[in-house]
Chains A and B, each alone.
Chain A
């Protein structure tokens, strides 16, 4: 620990603070804190509690300095500024006070700018949503022990969702430097162990130079597909002490990160299979990671005139494109003789039908003999403990490489192999798919009419009313409730930022803060961000609303308030039905009623414009219109809609 050896013992942080206490106290309130006065009290006098010898306990050694002109935290901020990080979301904590102060006063609170979050889960989730719109990580900082424990759920979501989040935690490594009390329970010898199963890389730098190198390395690792969160543990002494050897410090250059591309021979083989197939199908999940991703997939699909099934992990494919067959996935997968799976996490789940009965069973949807090719970065980095990699599926060719980066080569090969004869057959295939897509749209519209005027309001009506208010804006749906398919069935998702995917780990508490993070990214582009917000999710992290108000994040939350953890409600019903008992009791432990939660009042309490609860569908359109106007002014708004379950 060279830093310590340069300063020990006089420049240690704790002694420095002791000096500060003495100086400050003397200046402010000599009569109260006077050591002399304390000493003059008679010893053991009746009714007088023996006092500690404050003079002895607070008197600093003569050599203890009271100010410093540099700090490790300043240098850390200098390093962060080279990483093009715009925001740092955090809940303040003493274990990183050195960097916190440096961010504000040395860094000027720009690049990164601090986002104040009332929970660490909010901070990480904001980073997750942000990165999926902006294409780069947000930083997040928290206590190494208790803050990181709060942050774990969001880190797991980010890991499963393959999203980079740049996490820094505070820790006090040296035992003799820890203040009695909280600093002991807030320190660990290996704080990252808690989350090592779901971060891609971590380090606990022992010097400032070590920090600089690890900080750049962490950024590079997090941004290399498969992307994932990374973590740096920052020692308190390293943050707070003066820089002992500034002339020797060097900030490494961050090189451009080039994603891995699939082997050209394997890509050519995939192209051959695609071109020759009668019914090729592309299934895709966390594919598009840049604004160019969607256009490339459209190009490939149109070159083949083949069906695309979009699992919507990202904004992969336009919702109204004639080749988008997402809502007849089973039909097209069942007819496929060749399947190209791009950046799929759960391919098995798409190719099989699983029955959640007493005897759990499954059957393949895909025909025997169907050729299956996978293309993605998933196999390049995986861990064992958490089972987010899903069930193994037989495939004929597994191409390891970033889907988006590999697509230009694949498109070129496909074009080379599609001759005039095939083009004609492909065109006929495309026409059939276009007819099927149009029928799906008409079906969706017809389905949406059922219960149109009902109260509680149907989710179809809610989504249709919302679409009416945003369709002429430059909108972005940055969050959605569980299994809410109406937007993708009814709306026109036609630009790369119209949608940014789901939580990844299905951990509740993602939607509200991740949507706020995505909305922050959309803000500088002038887009209107909207989130369909489950009530159960909002109850995990309601403080997000305050952060949105405080930082003027323009976002419209439309609360899909079904007053339940609805998926669990249904599961409980299934259990009761299985046992033939008490099916009317399924609401116990699964609903959020008695009292009903007034989300508009909650939001107003956090400083957010809000309306609701809205129960009459006729009132919904005007309320949404008013709320959109607020968002267009640059502020958050919330409309609480009492809805049907799904």
Chain B
């Protein structure tokens, strides 16, 4: 349990870092993004994080995941443990392969655009 907490702490730190949009060394995407999209929708990741990985809220804010900068390992720790109110996705409901594919799908999303170039967002 202590080890899990340590991993989770690291992962949460990375998640916060990633949420700021800073560069982070990435593993090469190893998953199947198409299957990842299917799994992302099927197991309900989209309900809190949005179909485009925009983020959202359950009881507390749910982070934006599009183009996540989390490495797969840290991402897996988060998904398996479920920080805050996030459901902890065990292997019973989400296989390692599907989890890796979801990671690849999130990496494939278009993510953020420069807001300053979008007039609607500057009014």
User: A: which residues have CB within 8 A of B?
Assistant: 354-357, 442, 445-452, 454, 456, 458-460, 464-465, 467-468, 471, 483, 485, 490, 566-567, 569-570, 573-574, 576-578, 580-584, 586, 644-646
Contacts and interface: CB of A to CB of B under 8 A. Distances in A.
A646 B50 contact: yes
Nearest to A645: B47
B112 A446 contact: yes
B93 A577 contact: yes
A586 B53 contact: no
A391 to B, nearest CB: 15
Contacts of B88: 577-578
Interface of B: 21, 42-44, 46-48, 50-59, 62, 64, 66, 82, 84-85, 87-90, 92-94, 109-115, 118, 120-123
A450 B120 contact: no
A622 to B, nearest CB: 13
A451 B43 CA distance: 20
Contact of A447 (B64, B90, B94, B120): B64
B66 A450 contact: yes
Nearest to B119: A468
A451 B65 CA distance: 11
B55 A450 contact: yes
Nearest to B113: A449
Contact of A644 (B42, B52, B82, B94): B52
B87 A448 contact: no
| Chain B CB within 10 A, most for which of A354, A451, A452, A459 | A451
A644 B118 CA distance: 21
24 contacts: A445-B118, A447-B112, A448-B121, A449-B112, A450-B50, A450-B112, A451-B109, A452-B113, A454-B52, A458-B52, A458-B54, A464-B121, A569-B44, A570-B47, A574-B85, A577-B87, A577-B93, A578-B87, A580-B92, A582-B93, A584-B44, A645-B48, A645-B56, A646-B50
Nearest to B60: A353
A447 B118 CA distance: 13
A450 B68 CA distance: 12
A21 to B, nearest CB: 61
Given A446-B115, A450-B53, A454-B51, A356 B59 contact: yes
B47 A576 contact: no
Nearest to B61: A485
B38 to A, nearest CB: 11
Contacts of A570: 44, 47-48, 58
Given A446-B115, A586-B47, 12 more contacts: A445-B115, A445-B118, A449-B115, A456-B51, A458-B50, A464-B120, A567-B58, A569-B47, A574-B58, A580-B92, A644-B52, A646-B56
A584 B42 contact: yes
Contacts of A576: 87, 93
The 8 closest A-B pairs by CB, nearest first: A451-B52, A577-B87, A646-B56, A580-B92, A445-B115, A450-B54, A583-B93, A449-B113
Contacts of B122: 445
B99 to A, nearest CB: 13
Contact of B64 (A450, A459, A464): A450
Given A446-B112, A464-B120, A573-B44, A580 B90 contact: yes
A442 B115 contact: yes
A646 B49 CA distance: 8
A327 to B, nearest CB: 9
Nearest to A575: B87
Contact of A446 (B21, B42, B48, B120): B21
Contacts, number: 125
Contacts of A471: 123
Contacts of B42: 584
Nearest to A358: B88
| Chain B CB within 10 A, most for which of A357, A459, A490 | A357
B54 A468 contact: no
A539 to B, nearest CB: 19
Contacts of B43: 583-584
A111 to B, nearest CB: 41
A122 B93 CA distance: 42
Contact of A468 (B46, B90, B115, B120): B120
A644 B47 CA distance: 8
A562 B25 CA distance: 36
Contacts of B92: 580-581
| Chain A CB within 10 A, most for which of B50, B51, B90 | B50
Given A355-B84, A574-B87, A586-B44, A447 B51 contact: no
Contacts of A450: 50, 52-55, 64, 66, 109-112
A355 B85 contact: yes
Contacts of B58: 567, 570, 574
Contact of B115 (A354, A448, A456, A578): A448
Nearest to B45: A573
B57 to A, nearest CB: 5
Contacts of A447: 54-55, 64, 112
Nearest to A357: B85
Contact of B89 (A458, A459, A577): A577
A586 B41 CA distance: 12
Contacts of B44: 569-570, 573, 583-584, 586
A558 to B, nearest CB: 15
Nearest to A577: B87
B51 A465 contact: no
B87 A356 contact: no
B19 to A, nearest CB: 9
Contacts of B51: 451, 454, 456, 644
Contacts of B53: 450-451
A331 to B, nearest CB: 12
Given A450-B111, A581-B92, A586-B44, A644 B50 contact: yes
B121 A445 contact: yes
B94 A583 contact: yes
Contacts of A355: 84-85
B48 A583 contact: no
Nearest to A442: B115
Given A449-B121, A468-B120, A569-B44, A646 B57 contact: yes
A460 B115 CA distance: 13
| Chain B CB within 10 A, most for which of A446, A456, A464 | A446
A454 B118 CA distance: 16
A452 B114 CA distance: 11
Nearest to A451: B52
Contacts of B56: 459, 483, 644-646
A316 B105 CA distance: 42
Contacts of B120: 464-465, 467-468
A573 B87 contact: yes
Given A485-B57, A583-B44, A452 B50 contact: no
A490 B122 CA distance: 9
Nearest to A582: B93
Nearest to A590: B47
